[in-house]
Amino acid sequence: MNYLIPFLILITIVVFIHEYGHYYFAKRYGVGITDFSIGFGREIFGWNDSSGTRWKICWIPLGGYVKFFGDRNVFSQSENSEIINKYNENERKKLFILKPLYQRSLIVFAGPLANFILAILIFTIINLFVGKDVTPAIIEEVQNDSPAYKAGMLKNDKILSINQKNIESVLQVSSIINTSVSEEIEFELLRNNNKIILLVKPNFSDSKDALGNSVKKRIVGIRLAPPNGEFVKQPLGPAQALYHSVNEVWFVSVTSLRYLGSMLTGSSDTSQLGGPIRIAKITGQVAEYGIIPFLSVMAYISISLGLINLFPIPMLDGGHLMFYFFEKILGRPLKQKTQESFFRIGLFVLVFLMFFATFNDLKDLGLF
């Protein structure tokens, strides 16, 4: 229960924001909405608003959906003459399928966009009221015969950048090293007021993260420590806080895509791909450290949800955007049978990923 409750709070907020993005733009463009659901399956409770939308909470809390007026299901349709003929002129104005292509595209894109905005908002609040960590990344120790030692790193070297990514905090170093997909990692160091560049080929090691979870880490063999043992937090002004928040969302998105790409090519460890069980575990662990770490995890999960939904896989928002792209190029929607074939492929891919991620989660718990 210590893990379940924080997870349910986090996933409910993130999913609600995602679906509200769809809902907001749909309402803006006059699309009728019959259902706004958090979760799938049987309804636990719900209510109807003045416009006739059914707002409900369902038993399976691993997503949600907004159902548009006239849709036979939550997916967009391409051959709709039978549907259109069922409605009068006023009702047709509320049909999603009759809206211009740019409006449909914005409605679909608005879900992932809302997730990115939520992450930016969370990071901005943290930067404003808690502050951004600006502790310099100074090397306290270089282990003998380690990759860093062989590359020529020394104690008291200050890390300025890793793979051309500026290091603004000691807390960035580990995450950038472990999300690197290159065989060698480029370090820019400051030594005796001189800048030097070293290439380090990391080792791989089974290790534990800060929460005690098993991970496969890239090890370069350095130990960092904040000066006087204290981290330096610097509250930022509104403009700076927003800038760094947008930059963080961009960095996480690009890094995630590179890491996923390296998984597909077999150059990265696929065991780190987790699903709902691992997310619930990490959420519960982080929640024990307070509201700020919990909000930070919420921001990262929100980025992940927005990013995944933009993948060009049918059944995801990116799949619909892919269909709209074809519609723009061809001057007409893809035929219904073609869409259904794509949906079957998308369903297979999603089910495979779900089972693969769940297997990793169960293996992480020691059940395999």
pLDDT in tens, 246-280: 999 998 898 888 877 776 766 666 655 665 566 66
Q: Are 342 and 357 within one domain?
A: yes
Is the domain of 109 the same as that of 11? Answer: yes
Decide: 35 and 51 in contact? Cβ < 8 Å: no
- Percent of the chain clearing pLDDT 70 (strictly above): 82
Say if 300 falls within a structural domain: no
- Pair (45, 99) in one structural domain: yes
Looking at the fold, whether 146 and 117 belong to one and the same domain comes out as: no
Q: Domain check: are 69 and 23 in the same one?
A: yes
In a domain, 28, yes or no: yes
Does residue 272 lie within any of the structural domains? no
Shared domain for 28 and 116, answered yes or no, is yes
What number is the average pLDDT over the span 318-341?
A: 86
How far apart, in Å, are the Cα atoms of 188 and each of 50, 162, 217, 268? Answer: 60, 6, 21, 24
CA–CA separation, 68 and 36 (whole Å) = 9
pLDDT given at position 188: 93
327 has catalytic annotation:
no
pLDDT of residue 72: 55
Q: How far is CA 288 from CA 175, 275, 278, 299, 355, in A?
A: 21, 21, 16, 17, 29
Residue 246 falls inside a structural domain = no
CA torsion 54-57-61-62 (nearest 10°) is 10
Q: Kindly tell me if the per-residue pLDDT of 208 is higher than 70.
A: no
Give the count of beta carbons closer than 10 Å to the beta carbon of residue 245: 23
Label residues 110-147 b or e (16+ Cβ within 10 Å = b): bbbbbbbbbbbbbbbebbbeeebbebbbbbeebeeebb
Please say if the pLDDT value at position 133 is more than 90: no
DSSP 87: S
- Give the residue from 189, 211, 234 where a domain finishes: 234
Find the helix packing angle between 336-364 and 317-330, rounded to 10°: 150
Question: Which of 99-103, 164-168, 224-228, 315-319 holds the top average pLDDT?
Answer: 99-103
CA atoms within 13 A on the CB side of 208: 4
Contact 163, 197 (CB under 8 A): no
Residue 1 pLDDT greater than 70, yes or no: no
138, 216: one domain: yes
pLDDT-derived band at 75, boundaries 50, 70, 90: very low
β-strand partners of 58: 43
Averaged pLDDT, 319-333: 89
- Tokens of residue 62, six digits: 């691993």
The proportion of the chain whose per-residue pLDDT surpasses 90, expressed as a percent, equals: 40
Last residue of a domain, one of 234, 257, 288: 234
Residue 106 near residue 25 (C-beta atoms within 8 A)? yes
Instruction: From 234, 261, 294, give the residue that closes a domain.
Output: 234
| 55 and 161 inside one domain | no
Does a structural domain hold residue 83?
A: yes
Full residue range of the structural domain in which residue 336 is found: 4-129+305-364
**Within a domain: 289:** no
Check 19, 168, 188, 248 and give the catalytic one.
19
Q: Are residue 8 and residue 125 in the same domain, yes or no?
A: yes
Q: Is residue 270 part of a domain?
A: no
Q: Mark whether 139 and 219 lie in a shared domain.
A: yes
Same domain, residue pair 31 and 124: yes
Residue given tokens 């259109």 in the structure block: 84
In a domain, 281, yes or no: no
The answer to whether 125 touches 235, Cβ cutoff 8 Å, is: no
CATH number for 211? 2.30.42.10
What's the structural domain count of the chain? 2
Confidence of residue 283 (pLDDT cuts 50, 70, 90): low
Based on the fold, state whether residues 149 and 61 are members of the same structural domain.
no
